[in-house]
Amino acid sequence: MEKLYIMYGTDPEKLVVSIMERMDVVGELRQLGQPVIAIKPNLVVPQPAEWGATTSPEMVAAAVKFLKSAGFKNIKIIESSWVGDNTKEAFQVCGYEEISQKLEVPLIDLKDDSYQDVQLGSETIQVCQTALEADYLINMPVLKAHCQTKLTCALKNLKGCIPDQEKRRFHTKGLHRPIAYLNKALKSHLTIVDGLFGDLTHEEGGNPIAMNRVLASRDPVLIDAYAAGLLGYELEDIPYILMAEELGVGKSTLNPERIVELNTSREAPPVDLNQAGEQLDYLKDFVVENQACSACYGNLMHALMRLKEQGILNKCPRPFYVGQGYKGKSLKGFGVGNCTKNFATFVPGCPPKADRILNKLQELLKGESYDG
């Protein structure tokens, strides 16, 4: 079974290159000769990546430079912003025109592309021709929340590879089933997830939290299964993940043998609370942090957002303690992460995913004793 690779940090080029080297992407591509390589970021709207909605241009540039240094020349960046927004403007605002000029890689606006009907049983999916004709598709989504599907990451990011009229049709059909079938019609050979900044609430950005990590796998179902937990969701909360698995797109099994961490979350820097958006300003009032790594803090913020959505945040024990400054300390509080293992109550993990934090809190609210 394919593996999921995780690396923490803030240097986009180092993170991308380290993961691509570990996965031997060059060796895989050399078996194809001189393939046509398409890189698909998420440029849903013309916003800087730091706002939590769009893929870091530094990550995409790192992938292009890495591939070119290995001798691969036929590389293009492909995208179609959501209906109503201008892809060419997004290319400019998000820094991709500069990549195109410096690295001599074309930008393809799929809104101008032709498309092909792909028949999958009773389902027909319209897919942009340029995406279908690529020999090797590198999917580079952002890890973030979505107002309708709760999560947008690997599987949903391919929605930018269909024409606008098909995007509209996807919404009339409820998104989940067509997203699953799209990933059967169009294969992502490699997915590299931008988890540097992710929005807490929806796909347009504006409430970002620094998570400072990159995820990668050849299995997009595995990535989304893991990403769901990071944001505090169960697989059943996001139907397209299990639908895609049923179609043979990948496997959602999250056993330890499939998860490879190339470093530790402590290599992600401490949080900078001065960068908080409006939602984060509210949530951080529930937290006492002391030298908290951004990876651990980010997962806690997503857990708190889920609790807020469920209307039970104010019923939870507070404050939540998180950070390396609590190592070796014994407090009567609710600790998050291995650094708080001496607390009366804590959630293990380095970092613990949001779903584990949620599960522990739900146990407490059901009547488990809490010494807080």
Looking at residue 306, its pLDDT comes to 87
Looking at residue 118, its pLDDT comes to 97
Residue 251 and residue 360 share a domain: no
Final residue in a domain of this structure, among 263, 287, 309: 263
Give the C-alpha separation, 148 to 171, whole Å. 10
Residue 203 and residue 288 share a domain: no
On the question of pLDDT at 149 being above 60, the answer is yes
Going by DSSP bridges, is the β-strand pair 4-8/208-217 parallel, antiparallel, or unpaired? antiparallel
Q: How many domains does the chain have?
A: 2
Residue 79 and residue 100 share a domain: yes
Spatial contact of 278 and 207, defined as CB atoms under 8 Å apart: yes
Q: With CA atoms as reference, report the closest residue to 136 among 6, 38, 219, 5.
A: 38
Q: Is 317 inside any structural domain?
A: yes
Q: Is 214 inside any structural domain?
A: yes
Structure tokens at 197: 């900044």
C-alpha pair distances (Å), 290 with each of 198, 347, 363: 22, 16, 26
Residue 136 and residue 253 share a domain: yes
Structure tokens at 166: 């098909």
Query: How high is the mean pLDDT of the chain?
Result: 90
Final residue in a domain of this structure, among 225, 246, 263: 263
Looking at residue 185, its pLDDT comes to 98
Final residue in a domain of this structure, among 263, 292, 307: 263
Q: For residue range 256-307, list pLDDT tens digits in order.
A: 999 999 999 888 777 765 554 556 677 878 889 888 887 888 888 888 888 8
- Looking up residue 9, the CATH number of its domain turns out to be 3.40.50.11440
Which amino acid is residue 322, in one-letter code?
V
Residue 186 and residue 95 share a domain: yes
Residue 162 and residue 285 share a domain: no
Looking at residue 360, its pLDDT comes to 87
Q: Is 370 inside any structural domain?
A: no
Q: For residue range 59-99, list pLDDT tens digits in order.
A: 999 999 999 999 999 999 999 987 878 999 999 999 999 99
Residue 208 and residue 279 share a domain: no
Residue 163 and residue 75 share a domain: yes
Domain span at residue 295? Answer: 270-365
Q: Is 372 inside any structural domain?
A: no
Q: Is 371 inside any structural domain?
A: no
Give the C-alpha separation, 202 to 40, whole Å. 20
Residue 54 and residue 85 share a domain: yes
Q: Is 21 inside any structural domain?
A: yes
Spatial contact of 209 and 195, defined as CB atoms under 8 Å apart: no
Looking at residue 203, its pLDDT comes to 66
Residue 82 and residue 54 share a domain: yes
Q: Is 238 inside any structural domain?
A: yes
Q: Is 250 inside any structural domain?
A: yes
Residue 276 and residue 248 share a domain: no
Residue 331 and residue 209 share a domain: no
